[in-house]
Amino acid sequence: MSAPRTAPYGSWASPITSDLIVAATIGLGEILLDNGEVYWLETRPREGGRGVVVRAAREGTLSDVTPPWPADGRGGFNVRTRVHEYGGGAYLAAGGVVYFCNDADQRLYRQEPDSAPVPITPAPPQPRALRYADGVLDAKRGRMIWVCEDHTGGAAEPVNTLVAVPLDGAAPPQVLVAGADFYAAPRLNPDGTRLAWLEWRHPNMPWDGTELWVADLAADGTIADKRKVAGGAAESVFQPEWSPDGVLYFVSDRSGWWNLYRDRDGRIEALHPLAAEFGAAQWTLRLSRYAFLSARQLVCSYSREGAAALLRIDLDTLAATPIATAFTDISSVRAEAGSVYFRGASPTHFAAIVRLDPGSGATRILKSASAVEAQAYDGYISTPEPMAFPTAGGLTAYGLFYAPVNRDFRPPAGELPPLIVRCHGGPTGASAAVLDWSTQYWTSRGFAVLDVNYGGSTGYGRAYRERLRGRWGVVDVEDCINGARHLAASGRVDGRRMAIRGGSAGGYTTLCALTFHDVFVTGASYYGIGDLEALARDTHKFESRYLDGLIGPYPERRDLYRERSPVHFTDRLKVPVALFQGAEDAVVPPQQAEAMVAALKGKGLPCQYLLFEGEQHGFRRAATIKRALDAELCFYALFLSGAKLTFAVE
């Protein structure tokens, strides 16, 4: 190995290219088990970002269940639901048959082994007007129960219900439960006599307040004798599940933390009280943080101080035993026949579908999100350092710091690296300490990266999550700025060369930081929000009242909406901005980015705007991901370097 060359931070050549990222990386999630076979959903950028159901047979062989993608990309199947726009719970596997929601029309399809999919729900009068998600099998009655989102009625908002769908599609869906604004997690008890579900109403989001209901199922399959088990306007209930012996379990944050409970004939019992999170923000459906090994044992994941761990709980004694694993980010937990399955990742492991023996702790990777092993890039991988730093009001905020790493280069003596602050979306979300090529793309080029889990993030309890209530555009921005200043003051980064970037809500934080503060010298907004009033008027049902809690009711507090909208204060902007947008984004429509671009151009500030046809909220296609990443790098080379740099985008 040759001696490292001296070159300024931010100019280092790296083998971790955008081509590598789109060629080597897929999305993994939504694990389901069916009689010894394991299923999961893969999102494939090189196939137009489509979702594919994959099966791991008992003997371990992997195969695609979803038919191959046509060469021209037209007419193929894409397993994706648009319920709540963010989806989740797009398929169900039962008895060797897969039922799934197809993105193009949002109809449910039945797919027998080695057969073409057949639609089993009616064709909607308009494309994607009837959407289905989070289904459960009702084998006793030859049907399934799904969340349905109906856009056909011409009402101001779509109507959400729980519906029964015959397995053979011989009859149209039948509404079982209606009246609430939102539904999730329909779950049948083992003998099919009772149904549990979650529901909530405007203006709550599911992490604010949900209700857990149970009803009997009559002989004809209709609902009878409903009763509320838990939840309310100030209690978030997550993931109801029936144990094999018919006891209802769920996660609630009634203690200030999402903890596990069970309902014993109307008496609610805590399983393992802990200042930790056993639940998550339900941005998508069918999230799973625990599963039953048997009627006597449960395995669960929890997160504390930004890292996840596994526990096994004896359901008779409630004794909890840690299960040691190498994974610090654990989701989609399932169990069957004495084995546990989950999506796991860590600072040294790419996301993967994992099988675990809970007795020995032995694990086996069924599929990795990266086709390339990290060891092949030894000397180019930066590992995160958890951070806690002081912020406004004498409080503490949290983040993950990644230092620049590249074995081929060293900086000039005395030079500090430029910093890229990353703001996660949501804003009710969190950044996890996991190995991800998109982080290493920056750090291997000589940029330091700070992922900020600002006030409002999940994983730190309800009180931390509610710091953002009424203060969006203030608390998140302060925490990002204070995290950057903390690193600069400690001599870790160059305080004169700091950028900020984020997507969706993180894009809003980015635009606020650049508009209202003089800390960052540039930034990049991915499908970010510039006009809060436009968002309140134009966004989809799921988030249509989200801003009531984050800002205030609209139009009563129109003053706050205008006061915190960067588009109205571009006269304060002094730095160049890059904006990236999906043309079909229903969550943050393109008009948001275009209003900011018009304002920037009107002021004569440098800006870059890339609009990607066929993309929605969050980029899925390989060509888009590559183009946006390389364009952002070029933008930073011009405006963040602080030196005249010459390099080619690999």
642: pLDDT confidence band, cut at 50, 70 and 90?
A: low
Residues 285 and 297 in one domain: no
Point out the domain boundary residue: 289, 318, 345.
289
Q: What is the pLDDT of residues 139-174, one digit of tens each?
A: 999 999 999 999 998 778 999 999 999 999 999 999
CA dihedral 200, 205, 209, 213 (to 10 degrees): 30
pLDDT over 60 (residue 645): no
Q: Do 516 and 490 belong to one domain?
A: yes
CB atoms within 10 A of CB 307: 18
Dump pLDDT digits (tens) for 427-440: 999 999 999 999 99
**Which pLDDT score, from 0 to 100, does residue 428 have?**
95
335 in the same domain as 312: yes
* pLDDT tens digit sequence for 384-406: 999 999 999 999 999 999 999 99
Q: Which stretches of 466-589 are assigned E, i.e. beta strand?
A: 498-503, 522-526, 577-582
The residue assigned the tokens 């205008």 is: 562
pLDDT, tens digit (0-9, with 9 covering 90-100), for 556-604? 999 999 999 999 998 899 899 999 999 988 888 898 899 889 888 888 8
Locate 584 and state its tokens: 């079909």
Is residue 343 in some structural domain? yes
The answer on 408 and 534 residing in a single domain is yes
CATH code assigned at 232: 2.120.10.30
With respect to residue 647, please indicate whether it lies within any of the assigned structural domains: no
Above 50 in pLDDT, residue 649? no
User: 443 and 463: one domain?
Assistant: yes
Is the confidence at residue 6, as pLDDT, over 70? yes
Beta carbons of 356 and 363 less than 8 angstroms apart: yes
Grade residue 650 by pLDDT with cuts at 50, 70 and 90.
Answer: very low
From 369, 397, 416, give the residue that closes a domain: 369
The set of residues, in sequence order, having a beta carbon less than 8 Å from that of 399 and lying 6+ positions away, is 386, 387, 389, 431, 450, 451, 452, 453, 483
Confidence (pLDDT) at 604: 86
Is the residue at 650 inside a domain?
A: no
8 Å CB contact between 36 and 449? no
CA separation for the pair 335, 187 (Å, rounded):
16
Both 303 and 412 in one domain: the answer is: no
Strand 37-44 relative to strand 50-56, pairing? antiparallel
In a domain, 649, yes or no: no
Per-residue confidence at 539, pLDDT binned at 50, 70, 90?
Answer: confident
What's the domain range around 359? 290-369
**Beta carbons of 299 and 312 less than 8 angstroms apart:** yes
Q: Per-residue pLDDT tens for 72-104?
A: 777 899 999 999 999 999 999 999 999 999 999
One domain, residues 200 and 247: yes
| Distance from C-alpha of 110 to C-alpha of 121, rounded to nearest angstrom | 10
Name the residue type at position 398: Y
Residues 6+ apart with CB under 8 A from 405: 379, 380, 381, 382, 443, 444
* pLDDT bucket at 61, cuts 50 / 70 / 90: very high
Q: Identify whether residues 458 and 546 lie together within a single domain.
A: yes
Q: How far apart are the C-alpha atoms of 527 and 513, rounded to whole Å?
A: 16
Q: How many domains does the chain have?
A: 3
Whether this prediction's pTM lies above 0.85 is answered by: yes
Say how far apart CA 417 and CA 151 lie, in whole Å: 50
The one-letter code for the residue type at 70 is P
Mean pLDDT, residues 461-482: 97
Category of 79 on φ-ψ map: left (φ > 0), alpha (ψ -120 to 50) or beta: beta
The answer to whether residue 248 is domain-embedded is yes
> Would you state the pLDDT for residue 646?
34
CB-based contacts of 139, cutoff 8 Å, min separation 6 = 94, 95, 192
**Any domain includes 24:** no
Residue 435 maps to a domain:
yes
| CA dihedral for 295, 296, 302, 308, sign (positive or negative) | negative
pLDDT at 1: 64
For residues 492 and 416, the answer to whether their CB atoms sit within 8 Å is yes
Same domain, 218 and 296: no
Q: Are residues 269 and 295 in the same domain?
A: no
Strands (E), 369-491: 385-391, 395-402, 409-410, 419-423, 448-453
**Are 348 and 475 part of one and the same domain?**
no
- Could you tell me which of 252, 243, 229, 355 has the C-alpha nearest to residue 291? 243
Q: Which residue, 311, 339, 369, sits at the end of a domain?
A: 369
Tell me the pLDDT band of 300, cut-offs 50, 70 and 90: very high
Q: Which helix (H) or strand (E) holds 486?
A: helix 475-489
* pLDDT mean over 26-49: 95
- Of the candidates 35, 88, 111, the one whose C-alpha atom is nearest the C-alpha of residue 332 is 88
Place of tokens 């060469």: 71
pLDDT, averaged across the chain: 94
Average of per-residue pLDDT across 462-475: 97
Q: What is the pLDDT of residues 325-350, one digit of tens each?
A: 999 999 999 999 899 999 999 999 99
**What does 214-225 look like in DSSP terms, one character per residue?**
EEEE-TTS-EEE
Q: Output the pLDDT for position 648.
A: 32
CATH number at residue 635: 3.40.50.1820
Does residue 177 share a domain with residue 268?
yes
646 in any annotated domain: no
